[in-house]
Amino acid sequence: MDKPDIVSRTEWQRQRDELLIAEKAATRALDALAAQRRRLPMERVEQHYTFETADGPRSLVELFAGRDQLALYQFMDNGPGQFCPGCTQFTDNVPPAALARLAERGVSWITVSNMPRAQFEPYAASRGWTVPFASSGGTSWDADWGTGYFHFSTFLRDGDDVYRTYRTAARGVEPMLFHYAVLDRTVYGRQEDWEDSPSGWPQHPTYG
């Protein structure tokens, strides 16, 4: 594998300082985006849905577990015995300690999929996942509030009324992945073939 040029400490610091200017600008831009998200209007969920959980059937309101906000990841249903590699990668990045931190701020977490519990739960156990899971199979949940693709949404509860406040999909979920955040700061990056990397850098297909 090729490697970066070797320079003096002074030159390295000069180029690092240049990059820091761009990084600080990106941080301020991300702060502005977050502020814009907090000003989005919300959309009422009019229809009632029943989800299957380890504790039995639950309504959407009950998925909030008594809190006012709900973060929901929609895990793709690729058919019997099939599991979305992107959803798998995302769920690998959801540690129990982070969910406890969310709960401290009044946010519950749920992973939802059209696949049945009998398919998801053994797979979750094989990967060591402990995320709360609910099956939306047999309902129009994903058709009504998704795209048939993996996505992340947040909801707000006002009594028994539920409102969607945010949604993103595809690369929109990447900022929440710990290992991507680390890899983006390493010299070889994610090592995926779509990245703009110097010639000779290791690269392979995404999910490869």
The structure's pTM equals 0.91
Residue 111: CA count within 13 A, CB half-sphere: 26
Q: C-alpha distances in angstroms, 46 versus 30, 91, 134, 164, 176? A: 32, 28, 19, 11, 29
What is the distance between the alpha carbons of residues 189 and 201, in angstroms, rounded to a whole number? 9
191 burial class (0-12, 13-18, 19+ CB within 10 angstroms)? middle
Task: Tell me what the mean pLDDT of segment 124-148 comes to.
Answer: 93
Instruction: Tell me the percentage of the chain whose pLDDT exceeds 70.
Output: 99
Task: Tell me what the mean pLDDT of segment 141-147 comes to.
Answer: 87
Q: Is the model's pLDDT at 208 over the cut of 70?
A: no
Q: Is 116 helix (H, G, I), strand (E, B) or coil?
A: coil
For the segment 11-67, what is each residue's pLDDT rounded down to a tens digit? 999 999 999 999 999 999 999 999 999 999 999 999 999 999 999 999 999 999 999
